[in-house]
Amino acid sequence: MTVAPTLSDRPAPSAAAPLREDGVPRHDWTQAEIEALFDLPFTELLFRAATVHRLTFDPTEIQLSQLLSVKTGGCAENCGYCSQSSHFDTGLKASRLMDPAAVIAQAKVARDGGAQRFCMGAAWRDLKDRDVPALAEMIAGVKALGLETCATLGMAGLSQMQALKAAGLDYYNHNLDTSEADYARVVTTRTYQERLDTLETVRQAGVKVCCGGIVGMGETRAARAGLLLALATLPAHPESLPINALVPIPGTPLGDSPPLDGLEFVRTVAVARLVCPRAVVRLSAGREGMSRELQALCFLAGANSMFVGGKLLTTPLPGMDADQQMLADLGLRPMGA
């Protein structure tokens, strides 16, 4: 008769530990180590990620974030996934920067609907000095509502970031999108180094960093590992790490990309949790196409924030009622509630 091996008989899968012996997150990851995490058996990977998640966060809490496009379309960048690029014909009409009072009013609706964090996004290659006062007014007004504030406005200078920080900006979003090796396939109007330089400017201004990427753009697993390597080897890990699933937009170069396998998406979330253990890992674009079960696996893997409100810039999200029901069914509650 064959006797099943005990736990002590089973060799532990080899993959690097995410924390040093003193409990400090590592910043010396290698591509090979991160690829080894991706290669772990699925249940082992999720167990490790869930274990690390509990070292810093309450696993029953989810932060609810809402994103408003305060200036839509007409962007000079040629990001191959984006409906707002002026390089592609996607049928999206460009608009001017919204009035601060209108933004603040929408932030109040978001707060009253359950959002805890309010993000303001503008389709710009870089921030212009002339727009800083209006943006500062928006940020101050949103902050006064008791919401955590975030903005994504393209590349920005130090004095601009300092002005937004003074107005009450908590986070600045500037995604790397993909790995450096894969980057030129996605965008050519801005270099990877320019993105890294912007992150450094955000840090210098004392604003927290929100930085992640997009998966499902036809990239390889090595490219997904390379994106997480870039984030995990920054001098300081992003405090906020959004993971977007591509929503293919007709008329864009990546509009015909095949969807990423759901389990591979969960693997990406889990590895992000392991290599940046103190970051808030955010489910961002693409949730509209995810089942409740897939999202539940993402929360198990260490995601602890999601964007709500029916729309993420120009792409759809589930409605707030459906999200509230899902959280109730999973026994999850808003962060800090």
The whole-angstrom separation of Cα 285 and Cα 245 is: 6
Would you tell me the crossing angle of helices 262-275 and 221-232 to the nearest 10 degrees? 20
Cα–Cα distance, 121 to 39 (Å, whole number):
35
Q: What pairing do the DSSP bridges indicate for beta strands 311-312 and 315-316?
A: antiparallel
At residue 299, what is the residue type?
A: F
Q: Which residues are catalytic?
A: 75, 79, 82, 119, 150, 210, 282
- Using alpha carbons, list the distances in angstroms from residue 176 to 79, 213, 223: 11, 6, 12
Phi, then psi, of 7 in degrees rounded to 5: -60, -40
Following DSSP, what letter does each residue of 194-243 receive, concatenated? HHHHHHHHHHHTTPEEE--EEE-SS--HHHHHHHHHHHHTSSS--SEEEE
H or E element at residue 41: none
